[in-house]
Amino acid sequence: MARIGLGHDLHRLEPGGGLVLGGVTIPHDRRAVGHSDADVLLHAVTDALLGAAGLGDIGELFPDTDPANRGRDSAGMLAEAARRLAAAGWRIVNLDCVIFAQRPKILPHRTAIRRRIAGILHVDEEAVWLKAKTGEGVGPVGAEEAIAAECVVLIERSDRDE
């Protein structure tokens, strides 16, 4: 048995450095605004995994109304989602992710981001793919007012015969 999950997240951008994407801090003159570390990519991956397994969503597990989640490291949230996924008898097959950002260019950081996500999830780096799209100067992404990410994940029962 296999399932597909879809995750999406969007955060406002403001002046300031230290844009965190996929658990990697990227040099940039803007930063994402959020209750946690505002890692839009890890939030999308977390929601994709939870949705695929029918385990809720990131807002249920880590509500922004809980002061304990203020500034929380999104890598820890993703690791907890992966732990719950495994405990429910699921295994990750692969992820396909897209970051929507006018700037910075993601390609120079893609390998580090893929490696970091694979490490958090304990999967092979080849199971994690990442693309980036600009906003073509249109809308909040194009105007550098926001950054977004989407992730599609395929999971399967971990007890299936190989």
CATH label of the domain that carries residue 76: 3.30.1330.50
In a domain, 55, yes or no: yes
Task: Confirm whether 126 is domain-assigned.
Answer: yes
Q: What is the mean pLDDT of each run of 10 residues along the chain (162 residues)?
A: 97 94 96 94 98 96 87 93 97 98 97 98 98 96 97 91 46
Give me the pLDDT at residue 31, please: 96
Assigned domain for 124 exists: yes
> Does 151 reside within a domain?
yes
Tell whether 104 is covered by a domain: yes
pLDDT value, residue 162? 44
What pLDDT was estimated at residue 107? 97
- Taking the alpha carbons at both ends of the chain, their separation in whole angstroms is 13
Counting the structural domains of the chain, the total is 1
- Sort 144 into a burial class: Cβ within 10 Å, 0-12 / 13-18 / 19+: middle
pLDDT of residue 160: 58
Query: Could you tell me the two tokens for 85?
Result: 């996924």
Kindly state whether residue 128 falls inside one of the protein's structural domains.
Answer: yes
CA nearest to 117, candidates 23, 9, 8: 23
Domain contains 162: no
Range of the domain at 152: 2-157
